[in-house]
Amino acid sequence: MKKIILVFAAGLLAYSCSTVPLTGRRSLSMVSNDEIQPLVNDEYKRAVSESKNVTGTANGQAVVRVGQRMAKAVEAYLVQEGYQDLVNDFSWEFNLLESDQINAWCMPGGKVAFYTGILPITKDEAGIAVVMGHEIAHAVASHARERMSNGMLLNGLLGGASAAMGQNPTMMQQILLQGVGAGSQLGMLSFSRKHELEADEMGLIFMAMAGYDPRTAPAFWQRMAAAGGGAPPEFLSTHPGPDRRIERLNANMPKALKYYKP
């Protein structure tokens, strides 16, 4: 019986894996976007409603302008590479929220929020593009769905989200809430360092695709590290150290520059 269960689980995992665009990494995908998007939409609306929305200002319009430009470039790439289904899952929104927090995030489906506290560090639209590319990459790589899938596997919930709801609805609700950041401060997610480094690599290429110079990225991360003083900003709290991050960005720079057309 144990062997049968192991064979079944191995087959399920193989069937439930997806490929991350650009990096080619295989990731666990036992949850569909359709299953989590209603929760994501509610959480995004809550986050936006609980802060002063300053999207209509000059800075807010800069965030929207960069976001739309990058989303267009990323979608064109995904369609070209055969990821049309992934593109169909996006319904992009970009908002600038007034807060001293040095942070930004993107939830599944392309729901993006920037905080005004990060703008002195971004300095210009290229700096915004560094952050935007990193956050969009989390959504494109389906990192939140992967977190949820891992949570289901660790708790023995197999067969997809719908089946898991029947097995243990309370546990599944907790996994879904944690996976998309619902209930945490303004919906912010805490990804693993593996996810963060992957988002760095993908984001660097995404900003290049949109016509922003990827060579500005290391300088941005240097400014971000300096802004922390004795403690890192929230944006860096679960991230790799700045030296390692910059080293990896520079290593990936030749790849990104192949996509860069000023």
Active site residues: 135
Tokens of 27: 């990731």
Q: How many whole angstroms separate alpha carbon 203 and alpha carbon 215?
A: 12
Q: How far apart, in whole angstroms, are the C-alpha atoms of residue 91 and residue 78?
A: 15
Contact 78, 209 (CB under 8 A): no
- Among candidate residues 132, 105, 116, the one with its CA nearest the CA of residue 53: 116
The 3-state DSSP class for residue 28 equals: strand
Pure H helices in the chain: 2-15, 33-49, 58-80, 84-88, 119-122, 125-140, 143-154, 161-167, 169-180, 193-209, 217-227, 242-257
- Report the DSSP beta bridge partners of residue 97: 53, 115
* Nearest residue to 109 (alpha-carbon basis) of 16, 42, 30: 42
Residues 6 or more apart whose CB falls under 8 angstroms from that of 10 comprise none
Residue type (1 letter), 209:
M
* Virtual torsion, Cα 168, 171, 176, 181, nearest 10 deg: 170
